[in-house]
Amino acid sequence: MKPRWFVRGDLDGLVGLFIDNLLQLLLILSLVPPVCGIPVEIVVSRILPAAAVSILLGNLFYSWQAHRLAVRTGRDDVTALPFGINTVSLMAYLFLIMGPLWQKTRDADLVWAAGIFACWAGGILELLGAFVTDPLRRWLPRASLLAPLAGIALTFIAMPFVFKIYAAPAIALLPMLLVVFIYAGKIRLPGHLPTGLAAILLGAGVAWILKGFGLTPPETPAPSSSIGFHFPLPAFDKLLSFLQREGVGAFFPVIFPMALFNVIGSLQNLESAEAAGDRYATRSSLSVNGLSTLLAGFLGSPFPTTIYIGHPGWKRMGARIGYSGLNGILITLLCLLGLTGSVLRVIPLEVTLGILLWIGVVITAQSFVDTPAKHALAVAIGLIPCLAGWAALIVETVVRATGVPLDAVATKTGGDLVLAGLFALGQGFLLSSILLAAMVAFVIDHRFLAAAGIALLSSLLSLTGLIHGVAITSAGAQALAGWWVAPSFAAAYLATALVLLGLRFLPRPSS
């Protein structure tokens, strides 16, 4: 069989992935200048082209990888892995590395160099992770890998877009419901019109009609960007100059968890793809993840790339092989020509968000459907740290916008909103989600020794601050790193391990 590079469903997949990638680029264009002090001209001429080329590399590889799988298996339903900039890492690098450094030094060139360094260090860690995570993938219960994915899909992907949709219901609500109804009901539109495209055209048409009658709904302002050809250039000199400075190691408490987040997140996405029927090699998939991030840093982008959440959603849309590569080409052309901010002048952002909401919902549902029924409880438990991480981000965003010190808010809320517990659970939420879900799944299977091992690992990670290591200060929630960071959590997990070892010797109930 010669698999086709493009099928009709690839147009729907292209629309969804293009919008997802575009949203990240618009976030960079909108947030980097005010948060990091880097001029818009640098963002448009250097950072966005670098990010686009790294996206292009990954998208082309994953399309080729899907084609090879289709040829090898003789199947015509293989879907390429989606790929782009990681939203959580983007926000972490902006607000935990580049933003604070800008507030301290007011040196935009130094801030840019620090971001490039963080991207490079994260890429190296991702590349190393490609060679050690496959055994981990085989040992851990599927529930522990899919639960954090569902948590991220439900919180960081679906919910923010729901808020934007309901803030502009006149143009956004109908397209969102159209996407959900047609995909959920597996309804075929006349002429095989792609659902995502139909929803966007409908929403854009309503928006323009309302605008014609002077009833313009609230819009997301289109970021300005200069149109012209912007060829990506190496920025390795900035990395070298930054490495000669003192205090470089101070950024690793942010860089290491984010790199681990990308590696484990990509591992979970591979597990999600396998659950949907497409098994991809772990090492090559994660290696390209790391290499794309290194390319981004080499050309001047501070933002890592990663395998995206949402493979089953794109598969359900009918996307197959070509949507990924074509998306990379279009995104690259958009950035090289400086047209990123111009898109929103034609199509309101709000009318596109229903597609991304659908992706988040599908992933959440899949996490329960594609795990053993007895492990559903483990998936539910694994959602809790992700909810805490999302809630902590909301609290910090509101506090930062109002200018009120976070520690003062924590004192005033008291027992109504226990921010100390919220931020402790939210710190390292991805790891906590995996660990909690794995412990529960192992206990359900009466594998108490494995569960005790997870509890001991949780104790160690607590001591080093990779989970639960956070301090609430006037400047915000500060991640802690070192040794003996969260001893109370470490002691609790150690006691849990001892109890689990004791349970191992209890008689097992008959089935």
Inter-residue contact 217 to 170 (CB < 8 Å): yes
- What is the dihedral sign for C-alpha 467, 472, 478, 483? negative
The C-alpha atoms of residue 238 and residue 244 are separated, in whole angstroms, by: 10
List all residues 6 or more positions away from 160 whose beta carbon is below 8 Å from its beta carbon.
none
Beta carbons of 11 and 194 less than 8 angstroms apart: yes
Give the pLDDT of residue 57: 95
Q: Which residues contact 501 (CB under 8 A, 6 or more apart)?
A: 448, 449, 452
Give yes or no for a contact between 111 and 245, defined as CB atoms under 8 angstroms apart. no
Q: What is the pLDDT of residue 258?
A: 67
Dihedral in degrees, nearest 10, Cα atoms 37, 39, 44, 45: -120
H or E element in which residue 112 lies: helix 108-129
Nearest to 45 by CA among 219, 238, 174, 227: 227
Considering the entire predicted model, what is its pTM?
0.74
3-class DSSP state for residue 310? Answer: coil
Q: Residue 374, exposed/middle/buried by CB under 10 A (0-12, 13-18, 19+)?
A: exposed
* Cβ–Cβ < 8 Å for 349, 220: yes
Residue with tokens 């950024």: 251
pLDDT, residue 21, reads: 86
Instruction: Indicate the helix (H) or strand (E) that contains 477.
Output: strand 476-479
pLDDT at 103: 76
The DSSP 8-state label assigned to residue 226 in this structure reads: -
> What is the spatial distance between Cα 19 and Cα 16, in angstroms, rounded to a whole number?
5
Per-residue pLDDT of the chain (511 residues; tens, 9 = 90+): 688 899 888 888 888 788 778 878 887 887 899 889 999 889 999 999 999 999 999 999 999 999 999 999 999 899 999 999 877 678 778 876 888 788 778 889 989 998 998 899 888 888 888 887 767 767 889 898 888 878 888 887 788 889 988 988 988 899 999 989 988 888 878 876 777 778 888 888 888 888 888 776 555 555 555 677 888 899 988 888 887 776 666 666 567 656 766 787 788 788 889 988 999 988 899 899 999 999 999 999 999 998 987 788 888 878 899 999 999 999 999 999 988 877 767 777 788 788 778 878 887 888 898 889 999 999 999 999 999 988 998 898 888 788 888 888 888 876 667 899 999 999 888 889 989 999 999 999 999 999 999 999 999 999 988 899 898 888 778 778 778 999 999 999 999 999 999 998 888 766 5
* Helix residue ranges per DSSP H, 213-350: 236-243, 252-275, 282-299, 311-317, 322-336
- Residue 477: the pLDDT is 81
